[in-house]
């Protein structure tokens, strides 16, 4: 405190007070600033730390979801391999990827995915028809964390054939008629077989057989008569659809829920096609009935029809196509109807039936010479066409399944000499063996390997009851039912496990 002795007392005291107040004024800027900085720094550090933790958790969560998807994909790839061949699920640890053909396949012991994820699949065999597939995906992203996702699933070979060996066949039982009814087709309903026939040789058009004892099938409902020739048949629930050689009701529907008491009163409804007695072939897909007829040059008399049969009591026309050919057989695959036809330039015809109310003929395939197509089977890896017997040709043709609906000209087709008409054809459940009803005098039933391209003969059966005219394979019974001029034959495979040769 400085005192200026030259000043008055009043001025001196005021100056002292003023100086003192300046000296006593709180240092708020410094302290508060320091406190504020400290608080702010603490909060920022805390926030930043929490931010990093939260971000890290989000990243780890995303990594786990990504790994889960990769792992799930690996399991699904293994399931796809199982669908192709159960034997492909070899024990061990594998990487899995898609090959050049787009199919899933093993590749090394693990596969690296983008984002530094590494996936592997471990297959352990629990039984000859049972494996456990464990897919694992690992990642290590350094400070962003690491982890593992594991998913397991059991796969069994439920598609393995437990049935017979179709390389060795024998007759289990038969019914031989005293006359020559000229049986045409056969369908199986539970423990009963419905067999259609001509009437020219004394047949009644439709027969019913009890096949409970397959060694000795017996005819039931023997008083029933169709009143006209019966041709191809198809079942939808308890409804039997039959192509009839009748002038006014070419397609009939019968209720077959009580086969042993089958009678004309079981007729549900019928449909009169244009023309007379032209219906020959039928096929059913869900609620659509397909009918093929003999060729007619008359305008308005078409050769291929689609009907809505969603209501059991009605057959409602949806669409029809005019064609310059008779349609003897129909087989369905996807949106295509494959037709065995009499056209000289297209023995197999293909129609687009994706929309049954608006069908169209896509085209066909012209085989060598002019022998008619009689039978057709469209299956998973090919299409078979059976033709009438001709010395310049091989009567059985296998087409590959192309990317388009029409049978491709390459690869294939492949051929096999049958030595007779291929009047009817079917295929057994594993789609290895085709079953052919033929007019070959010593091989009326021929079993042909259609899994590959060699079309080798697996087995044959010789009957003295006439030509093979109709044939049906029943998957639940694992039996072939073939009808001839005068007999219903029940053919069984040899016992024991069988793999397609």
Q: Quote the distance between the C-alpha of residue 276 and its chain's center.
A: 37
Task: Report if residue 40 touches another protein, rule: CB under 8 A.
Answer: yes
Part in contact with another protein (CB under 8 A); list of ranges 160-168, 257-265, 283-291, 305-313 = 160-168
Task: Report if residue 116 touches another protein, rule: CB under 8 A.
Answer: no
Interface positions, 186-205, toward another protein (CB under 8 A): none
Part in contact with another protein (CB under 8 A); list of ranges 42-50, 275-283, 300-308, 336-344 = 42-50
Task: Report if residue 158 touches another protein, rule: CB under 8 A.
Answer: yes
Site string for another protein, 127-146 (x = CB under 8 A): --xx-x-x------------
The full DSSP string for 319-373 is EEE--SS-EEEEEEETTEEEEEEEETTEEEEEEE-SSTTS-EEEEEE--SSSPPE
Sorted by sequence, the CB contacts under 8 Å of residue 127 that are 6+ apart come out as: none
Q: Quote the distance between the C-alpha of residue 463 and its chain's center.
A: 35
Member of 7, 17, 34, 50 binding another protein (CB under 8 A) = 50
What SS3 state is found at 46?
Answer: helix
Question: What is the number of other CB atoms lying within 10 angstroms of the CB of residue 80?
Answer: 15
Nearer to another protein, 66 or 219 (CB): 66
Task: Report if residue 463 touches another protein, rule: CB under 8 A.
Answer: no
Q: What is the Cα–Cα distance from 481 to 468, expressed in whole angstroms?
A: 10
Nearer to another protein, 44 or 116 (CB): 44
Site string for another protein, 475-494 (x = CB under 8 A): xx-x----------------
Part in contact with another protein (CB under 8 A); list of ranges 162-170, 269-277, 301-309, 371-379 = 162-170
- What is residue 407's DSSP assignment? P
Task: Report if residue 179 touches another protein, rule: CB under 8 A.
Answer: no
Nearer to another protein, 29 or 313 (CB): 29
CB–CB of 183/487 below 8 Å? yes
Q: How many residues bind another protein (CB under 8 A)?
A: 60
Task: Report if residue 72 touches another protein, rule: CB under 8 A.
Answer: yes
Task: Report if residue 26 touches another protein, rule: CB under 8 A.
Answer: yes
Task: Report if residue 238 touches another protein, rule: CB under 8 A.
Answer: no
Part in contact with another protein (CB under 8 A); list of ranges 51-59, 96-104, 250-258, 288-296 = 51-59
Nearer to another protein, 418 or 432 (CB): 432
Name the minimum Å distance from CB 150 to another protein.
7
In sequence order, which ranges of 27-166 are alpha helices (DSSP H)? 28-84
State yes or no: cis peptide before 411, omega within 30 of 0. Answer: yes
State yes or no: cis peptide before 214, omega within 30 of 0. Answer: no
Member of 89, 123, 136, 163 binding another protein (CB under 8 A) = 163
What SS3 state is found at 42?
Answer: helix
Member of 7, 16, 34, 51 binding another protein (CB under 8 A) = 51
Site string for another protein, 415-434 (x = CB under 8 A): --------------xx----
Positive or negative torsion for Cα 343, 349, 354, 360? negative
> What Rg value do the Cα atoms of the chain yield, rounded?
40
Q: Pick left, alpha or beta for residue 259 (phi over 0 → left; psi -120 to 50 → alpha; otherwise beta).
A: alpha
What SS3 state is found at 268?
Answer: strand
Task: Report if residue 298 touches another protein, rule: CB under 8 A.
Answer: no
Name the minimum Å distance from CB 203 to another protein.
31
Member of 43, 87, 216, 357 binding another protein (CB under 8 A) = 43
CB–CB of 383/401 below 8 Å? yes
Task: Report if residue 332 touches another protein, rule: CB under 8 A.
Answer: no
C-alpha closest to that of 147 among 51, 70, 77: 70
Positive or negative torsion for Cα 293, 298, 301, 304? positive
Task: Report if residue 58 touches another protein, rule: CB under 8 A.
Answer: yes
Task: Report if residue 34 touches another protein, rule: CB under 8 A.
Answer: no
Q: What are phi and psi of 171, to 5 degrees?
A: -80, 125
CB–CB of 432/385 below 8 Å? no
Task: Report if residue 91 touches another protein, rule: CB under 8 A.
Answer: no
Task: Report if residue 397 touches another protein, rule: CB under 8 A.
Answer: no
Q: What are phi and psi of 170, to 5 degrees?
A: -155, 160
- What is residue 312's DSSP assignment? T
Provide the strand spans (E) within 95-164. 96-98, 104-106, 111-113, 117-127, 130-140, 146-156
Part in contact with another protein (CB under 8 A); list of ranges 150-158, 286-294, 391-399, 480-488 = 150-158
Part in contact with another protein (CB under 8 A); list of ranges 43-51, 97-105, 111-119, 293-301 = 43-51
What residues line the site for another protein (CB under 8 A)?
A: 25-26, 28-29, 32-33, 35-36, 39-40, 42-44, 46-51, 53-58, 60-65, 68, 71-72, 75, 129-130, 132, 134, 149-164, 429-430, 475-476, 478
């Amino acid at each position: 405190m400085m005192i200026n002795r030259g000043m008055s007392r009043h001025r001196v005291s005021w100056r002292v007070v003023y100086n003192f107040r300046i000296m006593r004024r709180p240092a708020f800027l410094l302290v508060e600033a320091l406190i504020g900085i400290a608080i702010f720094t603490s909060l920022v550090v805390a926030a930043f730390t929490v931010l990093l933790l939260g971000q890290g958790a989000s990243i780890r969560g995303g990594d786990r979801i990504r790994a889960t998807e990769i792992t799930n994909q690996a399991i699904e790839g293994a399931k796809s391999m199982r669908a192709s061949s159960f034997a492909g699920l070899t024990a061990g640890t594998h990487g899995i990827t898609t090959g050049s053909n787009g199919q899933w396949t093993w590749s090394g012991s693990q596969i690296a995915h983008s984002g530094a994820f590494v996936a592997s699949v471990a297959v352990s065999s629990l039984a000859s028809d049972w494996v456990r597939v464990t897919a694992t995906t690992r990642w290590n992203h350094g400070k962003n964390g690491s982890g593992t996702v594991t998913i397991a699933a059991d796969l069994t070979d439920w598609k393995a054939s437990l049935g017979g060996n179709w390389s060795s066949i024998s007759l289990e039982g038969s019914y031989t008629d005293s006359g020559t009814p000229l049986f045409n087709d056969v369908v199986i309903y539970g423990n009963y077989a419905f067999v259609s026939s001509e009437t020219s040789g004394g047949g009644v058009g439709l027969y019913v057989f009890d096949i409970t004892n397959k060694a000795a099938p017996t005819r039931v409902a023997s008083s029933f008569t169709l009143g006209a020739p019966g041709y191809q048949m198809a079942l939808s629930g308890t409804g039997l659809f039959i192509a009839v050689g009748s002038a006014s009701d070419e397609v009939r529907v019968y209720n077959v829920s009580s086969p042993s008491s089958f009678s004309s009163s079981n007729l549900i409804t019928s449909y009169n096609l244009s023309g007379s007695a032209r219906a020959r072939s039928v096929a059913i897909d869900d609620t659509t009935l397909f009918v093929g007829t003999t060729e007619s040059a008359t305008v308005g008399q078409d050769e291929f029809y689609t009907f809505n049969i969603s209501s059991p009591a009605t057959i409602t026309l949806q669409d029809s196509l005019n064609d310059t050919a008779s349609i003897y057989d129909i087989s369905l695959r996807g949106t295509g109807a494959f037709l065995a036809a009499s056209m000289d330039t297209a023995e197999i015809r293909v129609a687009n039936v994706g929309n049954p109310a608006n069908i169209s003929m896509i085209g066909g395939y012209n085989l060598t010479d002019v022998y008619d197509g009689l039978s057709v089977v469209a299956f998973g890896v090919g299409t078979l066409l059976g033709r009438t017997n001709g010395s310049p040709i091989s009567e059985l043709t296998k087409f590959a399944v192309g990317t388009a609906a029409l049978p491709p000209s390459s690869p294939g087709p492949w051929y096999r000499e049958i030595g007779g008409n291929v009047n009817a054809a079917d295929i057994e459940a594993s789609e290895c063996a085709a079953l052919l009803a033929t007019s070959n005098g010593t091989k009326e039933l021929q079993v042909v390997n259609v899994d590959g391209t060699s079309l080798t003969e697996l087995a044959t059966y010789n009957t003295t009851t006439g030509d093979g005219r109709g044939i049906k394979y029943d998957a639940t019974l694992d039996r072939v039912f073939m009808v001839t001029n005068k007999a219903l034959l029940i053919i069984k495979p040899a016992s024991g496990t069988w793999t397609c040769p």
